[in-house]
Structure 1
Amino acid sequence: MDTFHFSRITDPVHGTFGISELESDILSTPVFQRLHNVKQLGLAHLVYPGAGYSRFAHSVGACHVAGRMVRAIAHNCAHQLDEHQIQLYRLAALLHDIGHYPFSHAMEHVLQDHYKAAQFLSDDSFGPQTSAISEDPPAFDHETLGRKIIEVDEQIGQVLQRHSFTREEIKAVFSRETPGVLSNLVSSDLDCDRLDYLMRTAHGAGIPYGGVDAEYLTTQLCIDSEGHLCLTKKALRAADHFLVSRYYDYTQVAYHKTVVGLEQVLRDVISGLVSRGLDCSSAAMRRRISDGSISAFDDQAIVSEMRNCLNDLGDQDRILSRKLKSVLRREAPKLIASSERIAPRSEEHAYLNNVDQLKKSVAQWAQHFSIDPRLWHLWKAKLNLTKIGSTVSTGSTIDDEFEEERQQVVRILTTDPEDPASKSKPLIEHDFALMKQLSDVRLYSMRLYVHLPEDCANPAQLRQEITSKIKSDLQFFPFSD
């Protein structure tokens, strides 16, 4: 029997495909089953009802795509992998999201900010300092939490041991500690994660922007004589299209105005839960892994915390109550003003100045309209089409701030893939690649939201008054039409 056809999975995106016995055993562990109840796209399903797919489905899809990529490499060039190595990269793809928190990045960012601030403010007279007795950071990011799960979880360890794999070799690929030539399969500008994500989001949300030619892209992979993962010259247009598709997917789904508004409120809600006793510090997450309770730490667990908090609050904290209702009842704050512009990466300083200007003005508008400043939400985002721009040298091997990004760019062969001295260069250095032009710009976004008073007699009029006031006060601000 083919190792990777021990069991079969029917998937709405990739059709029916096989998985190995090891992969099947990993899927059955409680800590991996948890991902059934962690949505890939946060609150996007409140706007796109079909976009509520799970990180479980995405992880299985990424594993399948990684397998296709490895098979293509073996077919297109002389770089052969044994079965153990193939399984290693498939497994890294399968486990790449295992450390995600409930509601994913929204919760992760809140925890990073909350526990770093708590550590900064603490001293010997204010409670225990976990960082003093542990090498762990105050709070884990999802990648570090994933490594801890692989290191500590008992069932994961038993499965790996039973199939002659070690935690260390999985973690090394998973975390890029020992990158090797194929680490970009799992984490790069064009990897199994992004390919499955775009296809699955397009399918679930019912929009075409992520409809990339994954079948063709995965068949055109190879490795050049210097060990770089790359695509054949024929796939240059498909690679361009993939990166543009990723841009439009983000702007249409993750950056949808209602999704963003609700996610901003969700962050405040999670911050409120943590402040009221929900412990998600690195020490607490270690305990959850050790005692197995992390398997129940999913989106629904946080929703239950929200509902319990709302019931307990009463009139104690009307601001937090308003925000809890906003998330639980899909009552998004109103978009008051926005700025969306594509500009050179070099304009980041001007963009940050505009963000700071807007942030400082919120207190004045809150006072003018008698709306608590805690009910205003300022969202900002910078979106690159590629990890680095073409103005940054991709040929240098100097270990600087761009080195990791350099290693993850999409590369295109400049010779025949079967040439023993085959060479490649980054997509953004090809004159006829669209990305050569677009890699030096990024989308700069700012949006201001506000919860209008619940007893407002004419919300539409008040909203217009606030917008007019903002545009009057910031006459030279680059507002979008």
Structure 2
Amino acid sequence: MKFTDPIYKAIHIQDTKILDLINTNAFRRLSSIKQQGNTYFLHPSAVHTRFGHSLGVYELMNKVINHLTSIGDIRISEHDKKVATVAALLHDIGHGPFSHCFQKISGEDHGEWTIKIIEEDEQIRGILNRIPNLLEDVVKVLKGEGEFQVIEEIMYSWLGIDQLDYWNRDLYYSSLQLEPVSIDNLILTLRFVDDRLVMEEEGIPYIEHLVKVKKNLYDTGFGHPFVVGKDLLLREIFRIMQEEKIPFVTSDLKVFFNKQEGERLLIDFLILNDETIYNEIKILSMNKDTEAAALAHLYLSSSSSLQWMEGKPLNAKMNREDVSILDVIIEKKNYSSYTGGIFVQKDDGLYDIMHSSNYIREIASLPLKEHIYFLEKDRITIKK
């Protein structure tokens, strides 16, 4: 079967079990979960989904395994290759509405939901159990237990396929005028040395460009204060609704949030998607003279978000009697910069890429940005 993809042009899948997994309700649901959550408020085209990303990671797993096998750096059994491709396909199946934003709202990690779905969903469990030990081994990879070190390195290291796919994918759907990273050429420079995914020196320019893409996407996209403000607004709306016992209109949300963490069933979670949340906020905004409705209006606005300023709260020039500070967010350097972990192979050993790249060394040394997010009390009063 052929899937048209903007990054890889075409993804051809002949493995019937992979196709069966793609056709499960739990996986199809990912087509209703935005990859970048609220980023679309700033970049209207950023409505790509976890479905496309998951197919992309599957495609890259095959590409990297084939490359490393062809140059003799790894030997992998048919079973382990199956484990690798299934883990790549299902690695994000536990994401909730608006991706990472929902974790803060629900208090439950998407990784834990991923394992729960794989182990408990009847369709997925039934497909994986056709091959002995496949389900158990996929779970081991996704938990990062270390038994499948080669697969885990390919998946999750700094050079891992999860990152290689989503940076190029996020760039494609952004408004940035930057060249994409040449993934196929980058893959050709990868090596597996001393149980670690590393790269040859020829690959350094690709990583420099990747770091440039990362920084620009973070600064002007999901890390931009406007988008972070939308995340915080959504979180604050749900906090107020639960604290003040404002009833959910949507029955699916009512069922989910009326249960405590750990009590929620798979069916309670899998029914939720971006539209569920958006429709609830839209209905809430129609109520009059309530704090939650005012916040909902602000959240739905295409031109307004939370107010913010750069700096630390103690140094901020603001009248504390006039504002309510909702949060202080420090830049996530692992998304915006380079924090170490890419090793370059040279004749005399392995070295961190910072030793060979002035650009990456400069980017990594930049100070972290800190933003204060607040509301003016005379505009919207937030009860604490």
Shorter-normalised TM-score: what interval?
0.7 to 0.9
Q: How does 1:97-176 map to 2 (within 5 A)?
A: 97-112=92-107, 140-176=108-144
- Cα distance change of structure 1 residues 217 and 442 upon mapping to structure 2, 3 Å threshold: farther
What is the match of residue 245 of structure 1?
213
What is the match of residue 18 of structure 1?
12
Whole-Å separation in 2 of the counterparts to 1:323 and 1:61: 36
CA contact (8 A) 2:285 2:293 kept: yes
- Cα distance change of structure 1 residues 355 and 219 upon mapping to structure 2, 3 Å threshold: farther
What is the match of residue 173 of structure 2?
204
**Match of 1:270, SS?**
helix
**Match of 1:413, SS?**
strand
> Any unmatched runs of 5+ in structure 1?
1-6, 113-139, 340-353, 367-372, 389-408, 416-421, 456-481
CA deviation after TM superposition for structure 1 residue 160, in Å: 0.4
Deviations 1:62-108 (A, max 9, x none): 11112111111112334122232222222212111111121122221
Runs of 4+ in 1 over 6 A off after TM superposition: none
CA contact (8 A) 1:77 1:223 kept: no
CA deviation after TM superposition for structure 1 residue 229, in Å: 1.1
What is the match of residue 298 of structure 1?
273
Counterpart of 1:330, as a letter, is S
Does residue 68 of structure 1 match 2:86? no
Does residue 41 of structure 1 match 2:36? yes
What is the match of residue 398 of structure 1?
none
Whole-Å separation in 1 of the counterparts to 2:314 and 2:32: 37
> Any unmatched runs of 5+ in structure 2?
246-253
Which sits farther off after the overlay, 149-158 or 175-184? 175-184
Whole-Å separation in 1 of the counterparts to 2:37 and 2:122: 28
- Cα distance change of structure 1 residues 165 and 56 upon mapping to structure 2, 3 Å threshold: farther
CA contact (8 A) 2:225 2:308 kept: no
- Cα distance change of structure 1 residues 85 and 333 upon mapping to structure 2, 3 Å threshold: same
CA contact (8 A) 1:73 1:79 kept: yes
**Count of residues in correspondence between the two structures:** 364
CA deviation after TM superposition for structure 1 residue 254, in Å: 1.0
- Cα distance change of structure 1 residues 98 and 70 upon mapping to structure 2, 3 Å threshold: same
Task: Determine which structure has more spread, i.e. the larger CA radius of gyration.
Answer: 1
CA deviation after TM superposition for structure 1 residue 209, in Å: 4.3
- Cα distance change of structure 1 residues 432 and 32 upon mapping to structure 2, 3 Å threshold: closer
Pick from 326, 330, 338 the counterpart of residue 298 of structure 2.
Answer: 326
CA contact (8 A) 2:223 2:331 kept: no
CA deviation after TM superposition for structure 1 residue 377, in Å: 4.0
CA contact (8 A) 2:237 2:296 kept: yes
CA contact (8 A) 2:159 2:198 kept: no
- Cα distance change of structure 1 residues 83 and 201 upon mapping to structure 2, 3 Å threshold: same
Does residue 427 of structure 1 match 2:357? no
What is the match of residue 255 of structure 1?
223
CA deviation after TM superposition for structure 1 residue 165, in Å: 4.8
CA contact (8 A) 1:273 1:305 kept: no
**Match of 1:266, SS?**
helix
What is the match of residue 82 of structure 2?
87
- Cα distance change of structure 1 residues 167 and 358 upon mapping to structure 2, 3 Å threshold: farther
Whole-Å separation in 2 of the counterparts to 1:280 and 1:15: 43
Q: CA RMSD in A?
A: 2.6
- Cα distance change of structure 1 residues 189 and 355 upon mapping to structure 2, 3 Å threshold: farther
